[in-house]
Amino acid sequence: MELDTGNTAWVLMATALVLFMTPGLALFYGGMVRSKNVLGMLMQNIFAMGLLAVLWVAVVFSLAFGDAGNEGFIGNFDYVWLKDVGPALTTQDFLSFLTIPFILFCGFQMTFAIITPALITGATADRLKFGAYAVFIGAWLVLVYSPIAHMVFAGGWLASEGALDFAGGAVVHMNAGAAALALVLLIGRRKGYPDTPMPPHNLPMTVLGTGILWFGWAGFNAGSALAADGIAAQAIMNTFLAASAAMLGWLVVERIKDGHATTLGGASGAVAGLVAITPCAGFVGGMAPVYIGLIAGAICYLALGIKKAFGFDDSLDVIAVHLVGGLVGSLLLGLFADSAINAVVTNEGLFLGGGVDLLLDQSLASVVTLVYSFVVTLIIGKVIDVTMGLRVSEEDEDTGLDLSQHAEVAYAD
């Protein structure tokens, strides 16, 4: 393969788009917390851009993408400290389809590694100690993200079993969602939840964050084609259509059940659709993204009831949106995958006459991702809890994370 300037130009831009999603996520979450915790939330998200980028190039990129195509669980140390990762193409066999500089591939994947742990912060809002958070996301990137990314994205075990994941339905969303569940079970509910009302303090901020996520998701999904080609074009349109349809699906159910179509519901529905289309983006076509969006929007809304039913405090609904949304998208891919859209699809979806093979592969990948992420996150979280403590003191929680963790206030009177 030779370096292709068109492909390189697009992935350069897509890398910037995906990076922009993390501050977008910060605003999306930041608007939903109480005003005394908004800086705590923003800081957890932008801090991921600081710490995880450095960890990624130091070792995690190599653990995820080293020895790609080995059909195994994890990579190796070939690319530690960016060894052999530079402006040239890679000579690694499995990754030899890439027509972009290897350092750019590393950078594009880095932006995914940054936002995935950041997604978890919505679940533990208002009560996670900053130091514990810093240690947690570092350990989580090494012990949870890198093996899952290797198994799915880098020709590891799950990819060799036949599971498909275009841009991270399993690696990013189910992975973060299962981790969120483990962490909220460990850390417990916010003080006063659910009796004390804790309404969002700034929904305009949340809507702005939604817009940035929606925009950045073009890079997330269409960039995952790793080329400026027809699959990228299909992926960007699928992404936007699924977000739109999921907004409609969410709002219709919300209006029927609660009586109003809310702003927060419109924003949440769009994000649920973006999550659900992520595994499917470059593998489906026609009206499939609209169906996937409508289904995901409705199901994710109904999934809000899970936390009430089980009594845990997933504060900003990471499980309903990311775990459930990612699972819905990954399973629907088993119904809608279309080899006419992407030749990588060798087992077509059930609705295209391909039988249940792909659906079974998708189910296996989903279960493995959910169980692995949940169990290892539980272990990491427990170790941090008994050594340094996950949760702020009761007094610090009352004061708010902004003042207690960062000695700042967001809104001076």
CA dihedral 190, 196, 200, 202 (to 10 degrees): -110
Residue 255 as a binder of another protein (CB under 8 A): the answer is: no
Whichever of 46 and 261 has its CB closer to another protein, that residue is 261
Total residues contacting another protein (rule CB under 8 A)? 17
The token pair at 137 is: 């996301």
Residue 214 to residues 18, 123, 243, 268, 277: CA-CA distances in angstroms? Answer: 10, 21, 8, 11, 12
Residue 311 as a binder of another protein (CB under 8 A): the answer is: no
Whichever of 92 and 315 has its CB closer to another protein, that residue is 315
Cα–Cα dist 120/110, whole Å: 17
**Residues 131, 260, 340, 398: which binds another protein (CB under 8 A)?**
260
The token pair at 112 is: 């995914």
Find the part of the chain contacting another protein (CB under 8 A) among 34-42, 88-96, 260-268, 346-354.
Answer: 260-268
Crossing angle of helices 357-387 and 175-187, in 10° steps, is 30
**Residues 67, 126, 165, 254: which binds another protein (CB under 8 A)?**
254
Shortest reach from residue 124's CB to another protein, in Å: 17
* Pair 281, 275: CB distance under 8 Å: no
Cα–Cα dist 348/296, whole Å: 21
Site string for another protein, 317-356 (x = CB under 8 A): x---------------------------------------
Whichever of 256 and 386 has its CB closer to another protein, that residue is 256
Shortest reach from residue 247's CB to another protein, in Å: 14
Whichever of 85 and 198 has its CB closer to another protein, that residue is 198
Is 49 exposed, middle or buried, given 0-12, 13-18 or 19+ CB atoms closer than 10 A? middle
Shortest reach from residue 49's CB to another protein, in Å: 27
Cα–Cα dist 23/195, whole Å: 31
Binding residues for another protein, rule: CB under 8 A, are: 194, 197, 199-200, 254, 257-260, 262, 264-265, 268, 301, 304-305, 317
